[in-house]
Structure 1
Amino acid sequence: MVDDSSYPWPLGPPNAANFDLPSSARVYDFLLGGTSHGAVDRMMGRDLARAEPLVVSIVRENRSFLRRAVTYLAYAGIDQFLDLGSGIPTMGNTHEVARRVVPDARVAYVDIDPVAVAHGELLIGASASGVSVTQADMRYPDKVLAAPAVTDVLDFSRPVGVLMFSVLQHVSPDHDPGGVVDEFVARVVPGSALAVSHLTGDDPRIDIDAICGPTRAYPNGRATPRSAAELAELVDGIELVDPGLVYAAQWRPEARRHRGPLDEPCCGHRAAVGFVPA
């Protein structure tokens, strides 16, 4: 149980578009070095970094995992992606990464944060055909999959890469994260793929309370860390590719010319990629 008592942040009302409160998408953007955030998001980000200095490497390694996972799937033949909880567009977005391999790859971005969606529409605009941005709550797969901007871009009669990068931790136990994953997987054809990263609750090298405590202020879902065993249940039934469910930094890492302190493979997230069996 995370102790909230030492944090000054107010409790964010569920599903509120309250710009006086920090949001996970905007704080994430700040920690990545982006520009699409406000003063309250910077305050939260700095509080998190002071409380747990590894938080910056955590979000950067998650972004690096996105790049490696999408690249792998594109080379494996996946040419359309549903990016759930996509956040605020910054350099190295899913469609940019996928199109380095498959120039006409199609991507439907989905996020609950209205600011993230507005920035996505502005930054992507009409310049990227085959790419859409939708405001929707991934906790309700039927509504996501029926959204016009999703159905206009993705052909669900063909394999789709379903992406859940650092978003399932914002689905509380009350909203059944396993059921959410199962519903999306059930709605795509065999040969589709699932890529997941999730804040882990049993990495002894990070102070998980320091990270999760302040996130009670997020209007759309505080962070709920989960253990390796709990995460394995979320991807049960998916045929995981090597190396399976591991820390994000350990999933098919790229060779690095120089090593430094950010190479420590804790990074707070566990991650996995796999395919939907026939």
Structure 2
Amino acid sequence: MVRPIGALVGLGFVFVLLFSLITGAVNFIKEPPAPTVEHEFHLHPKKLDLASNGPLGKFDRQQLQRGFQVYKEVCAACHSLHYVSFRDLQAIGFSEAEVKAIAKQWAIEVPSVNPDTGEAATRKAEAADKFPLPYANDVAARAANNNAIPPDLSLMAKARHDGAAYVYSLLTGYQDQPAELLKHFPDAKTGAGLHYNPYFANLNLAMPAPLVADGQVTYADGTTASVDQMAKDVSAFLVWTAEPKLENRHATGVAVVIFLLIATTLAFLAYRNIWAGTKH
């Protein structure tokens, strides 16, 4: 008696499930969801070719140094890089002396303690220090940025889908709102203090375009600092801050693949040798 009842209950669940599925599909066809402004006008990141792309990718250290210069002269005023130390810059080609000079010349001093009085103080940054925060706290950050807190950029290239391409697209994607958008979604007009960018999730963000003109920075290696070039360079730099061991990971992956190929070949040859005299 228990089994037939259990079977009936199971069939009832299946029937309800199928009924809900069919009803939902019919309603979706008859009354599809209304399009949203984000769905209609949000763009996927542009394609970005960097030397670090792909399983065999390696960093272009000249580009990373240019990207650091863009971060230092443009982005550091608002965005932190708090998971990176000054001495880490040696990995992208700066000498120890250059790193010490960069830390000492940094515009923001780091918190410290007066050794004589024990009171809070500040001092010049040192190579062992992490990059200082641009604001004393979140309240100060909001007050200076239209009530928005600029995110830390240390892991941005991993925190966003297509991280480097996303950063590049965002930096080069500022534009006026399309007339078609305002025609179909008049309530979606960009508000005061916001800036339209189709590569941002909700199309409007508090950050104004940071890269506004060619030649905004002067590259030490003589590369022409167009807006497009600066955006590519700082995107490449943020790939490095997010994955400083990327080259080691790629090299390890190649070594493992080669080892597995050799091991598989040896195992197959051993199999053929051991079973060579056996008839099937």
Range of TM-score over shorter length: under 0.3
Higher normalized helix content (fraction of residues): 2
Higher normalized strand content (fraction of residues): 1
Larger gyration radius, structure 1 or structure 2: 2
Structure 2-normalised TM-score? 0.27
